[in-house]
Amino acid sequence: MQWTEGLKLPLLAAGKHASPDKGLCAMEMVAFIERLPHSDMPECTCRVIGAFVRGFNDLMTDEERQRLIPYLPLLVGTVSPEHERARGEFAAWKAIKVFAPLALQDVLPVEAEKLKNFDVSKGLGAAWSAAWSAAYAAANAAAEGAANAAKSAAWSAAYAAKSAAESAANAAWSAAESAAKSAAESAAKRSQIISTAFDLINEMLAIGPKGAFTKDPQAVKTLLAVL
């Protein structure tokens, strides 16, 4: 695939690709529009945001995935080490207070409410403990999907507490993935999970810089006209 005016970009695809001609996931498309070497980890995107978007890209259906297209220009120029911790914490709290409760609500509504209404002032350490408690309860109830979502939320909180922001974001999308799998027969719940994930991306983008192109801005503008 070459960089040319009037190029019709392909639909975003799942997975990692050997070259642009084989397809592009969201993060590979970011590298393409910023004219960077082909990669799903472009150097122009915050590694915390990138970690979540890579997982989220593959979680969605082909149709759902195209909703990421308007976000692609915003993902460029988001690198900011001083903002990574805050972005990772946002991801962890979303996993604790939204993704895990959505997975738990049908099988363990009391545990779901505890996490949904968790007092953030108690800190990520206490949130980790609460999520593990919910995970054990879900495992005892043979609710594998809910247990996995709660475990992932707990890991996200633990990583965020240690300022391992990228790992926190990875664990957050894993919580979203487990919640989505547990919601296989509920279109409304799945829709809520997808919407919440987009909310998280918006919240992380609101922290620090975004949309700062460095490679031939005029050419970028030409290409973005077809996004």
Which distant-in-sequence residues (6+ apart) come within 8 Å of 163 by Cβ? 85, 88
* C-alpha pair distances (Å), 120 with each of 2, 38, 85: 48, 40, 16
Question: What are the domain boundaries of the chain?
Answer: 20-77+209-224, 84-205
State the average pLDDT over residues 3-24.
Answer: 74
Give dist(CA 200, CA 220) in Å, integer: 26
Burial 182-219 (b: 16+ CB within 10 A, else e): bbeeeeebbebbbebbeebbeebbebbebeebeeeeee
Give the pLDDT score at 1.
44
CB 213 within 8 A of CB 76: yes
* C-alpha pair distances (Å), 72 with each of 45, 87, 165, 185: 10, 18, 21, 30
126-142, pLDDT tens digit by residue?
Answer: 999 999 999 999 999 99
DSSP classification of residue 69: G
33-80, pLDDT tens digit by residue?
Answer: 888 999 999 999 999 999 999 999 999 999 999 999 989 989 999 999
**Short-list 20, 36, 34, 29, CA closest to 57:** 29
Give dist(CA 212, CA 61) in Å, integer: 29
5-19, 27-41, 174-188 — which is least confidently predicted?
Answer: 5-19
Give the pLDDT score at 4.
46
Give the pLDDT score at 2.
46
CB 64 within 8 A of CB 77: no
